[in-house]
Amino acid sequence: MAEPFSFFLITDTHIFARALGTQGEAFEKFDKYGSTCHKASGALFDAAAKLMLNDGECNTVLVCGDISDNGQYLSNIEASGRLKALQDGGKRLIAITATHDYTSDGRYPDRVIDSFSFDGGSVVPARGTKRSELDGFYGQFGKDGALSVHADSGSYCVQLQEGYRLLCLNDDGDGVICGYSSSCMDWIHENITEAQAAGDFIFAMTHHPVVPPSPVFPLVSKRDMLKDYEAVADTFAKWGLTLIFTGHTHVQCIRSRKTPCGRTFYDVGTGALVSYPVPVRKVEISQDTVKIKTLFPETFEMDSKIYSVSEYTKKRFDSTVYGAIDGARHDIDRLAAVLNGLSIGRKGIDKHKILVKIAGFTADKITVGAADRILLLHSGVRKIKKVKLKDLLADCFRGFYAGERFVKENSEEHRFLRALTAKGVKIAVKAKLKTSGGNPQETALAILDSIVLPPEINPNNTVIKLDT
């Protein structure tokens, strides 16, 4: 019987080379649209690296893609250097790349992502990274010592220790729609079969989610799911692969799917290291049991100053909600930029600007009690009536992404949010806005519950019993 295997996992480090410019009007405008801490990205990675280096139990670190900020050549130099420093400190690094790590791919000439730097008030072109150059940066972290490599996708399989193998699946697809080709699926099946024949437990990591973090995710951002994700999950489970680690969404979550073959497929999604709450997964696998803990660095150093990781990143994260509300009131372009970071398009914003402005003004100024009274919600709020609506929304939004959901079923917060959602659906129907098929109110309330209520599986600390 193989000894238990333990490892750390981090994802979406989005390391931004500060040599690209972190001061001036242009950078400030770029940096304020979202929760990503561009300026502190390297320092946050260093804090997480220190946490892992101080832990003597795990000698392996998995990195699940989007290592650099946006494919800038300088960012890849800096990111790979930081991985190398962690490796030199005694950890074995195993990494995959994703679409944020390169700007162009010769196979797909239409996929060209702009690479830029900042100089005062100007955005200046910067050297990007070709996909073919990525192995030069990151091949040393796992791929160069692989048991098997799928040449076209760059996916590979590694022996972690006796009794354990890992499929490192690059899901870039065509650079726009992310998924696996038929030849890659054949290669995956071959490696699963070989591992099983050898008596090895095999699991996988890929970048894009295979099980949605919420039912709302495929509705607003299906392109950010793995292509044919349900069919892929069902196929993997049928082949005997029931555990995968993913990133991309920046949501700290653990989801499951009961597949037709009877096995449950688990997708362990990990939040971005470059955003609140800066999670580091610590995992132990033993036969059919997976123990998952989440660790968080407490402080980081930047520009010779010590910052609280939680306070710094929480403030930046909440600026997403407050920035969206402010944008709805005063600056539609800012609102669109914030929502684009959440993979929500602009079309609906431009079509209903007046409603958007009214919603923004209301959310900014009104308290929960006032909203309940004015909208005739009758949800029975007493303890939270003086809470500002925007603060409640910020707490719920942050709780969903960070795996820190605080709303309890039938609590004042829950009753109010359900009543507010139901009222919003009624207004949308009367205004003849596009809604989902079936009963739009039931759908909206189910989505709300999936976002604000505690999930079935604890997103940060749990024990999973796998189907064999």
- Of 253, 309, 310, 293, nearest to 57 by C-alpha is 293
Is residue 223 very low, low, confident or very high in pLDDT (cuts 50, 70, 90)?
confident
Q: Return d(Cα 146, Cα 157) in angstroms, integer.
A: 6
Residue pair 130/101 in contact by the 8 Å Cβ criterion:
no
Q: How does residue 148 score in pLDDT terms, banded at 50, 70 and 90?
A: very high
Q: Is 362 helix (H, G, I), strand (E, B) or coil?
A: helix
> Is residue 123 over pLDDT 60?
yes
Instruction: Check residue 38 and give its pLDDT.
Output: 95
pLDDT of residue 86: 98
Q: What is the pLDDT of residue 431?
A: 62
Q: What mean pLDDT is reported for the chain?
A: 91
Q: Write the pLDDT tens digit of every residue in 36-71.
A: 999 999 999 999 999 999 998 999 999 999 999 999
Task: Kindly indicate the confidence band of residue 350, based on its pLDDT and cuts at 50, 70 and 90.
Answer: low
Percent of the chain with pLDDT over 90: 76
CA distance 246 to 96: 11
The reported pLDDT for the residue numbered 53 is 98
3-state secondary structure of 24: coil
Which comes out higher in pLDDT, residue 168 or 109?
Answer: 168
Distance CA 192, CA 196 (A): 6
For the segment 26-36, the average pLDDT, to the nearest whole number, is 85
Position 332 confidence tier, pLDDT thresholds 50, 70, 90: low
Q: How many CA atoms lie within 13 A of 24 on its CB side?
A: 14
Buried b (16+ CB within 10 A) or exposed e, 20-59: bbbeeebbeebbebbbbbbbbbbbbbbbbbbbbeeeeebe
Helix intervals (H) in 260-331:
309-330
3-state SS assignment for residue 2: coil
- Token pair of 56 as six digits: 């003597």
pLDDT of residue 325: 81
Pick from 81-85, 151-155, 379-383, 439-443: least confident: 439-443
Tens-place pLDDT, residues 174-186 = 777 899 999 999 9
Q: pLDDT tens across 265-277, in order? A: 999 999 999 999 9
CB atoms within 10 A of CB 432: 7
ω into 109 cis (within 30 of 0):
no
pLDDT category of residue 253 using cuts at 50, 70 and 90: very high
Place of tokens 């009624």: 426
Residue 1 pLDDT > 70:
no
pLDDT at site 269: 98
Tokens of 72: 């800038």
Q: Which of 139, 18, 11, 131 is nearest to 74 (CA)?
A: 18
User: CA 98, CA 178: separation in Å to the nearest integer?
Assistant: 9
Residue 346, pLDDT > 70, answer: no
Structure letter (DSSP) for residue 455: P
List Cβ<8 Å contacts ≥24 apart for 189-195.
Answer: 189/239, 190/148, 191/147, 191/148, 191/157, 191/165, 191/167, 192/167, 192/239, 192/240, 192/241, 193/239, 195/157, 195/165
Structure tokens at 3: 């000894």
Domain with CATH 3.60.21.10 in the chain: 7-297
Fold of 7-297: Purple Acid Phosphatase; chain A, domain 2 (3.60.21)
CB < 8 Å & 24+ apart, contacts of 231-235: 232/179, 232/180, 233/257, 233/259, 233/265, 233/267, 234/259, 234/260, 234/261, 234/265, 235/185
pLDDT (tens digit, 9 = 90+) per residue, 354-382?
A: 666 777 777 788 999 999 999 999 999 99
- The mean-pLDDT minimum among 27-36, 402-411, 433-442 falls in 433-442
CA distances from 348 to 105, 340, 429 (A): 32, 12, 15
| Lowest-confidence pick of 162-176, 302-316, 334-348, 413-427 | 334-348
pLDDT over 70, % of the chain: 92
Predicted confidence at residue 468, as pLDDT, reads: 74
The DSSP 8-state label assigned to residue 113 in this structure reads -
More confidently predicted of 221 and 143: 143
Mean pLDDT of 395-406: 95
How large is the average pLDDT for residues 454-460? 95
Count CA atoms within 13 Å of residue 185 on its CB side: 16
* 144 class by beta-carbon count within 10 Å (0-12 exposed, 13-18 middle, 19+ buried): exposed
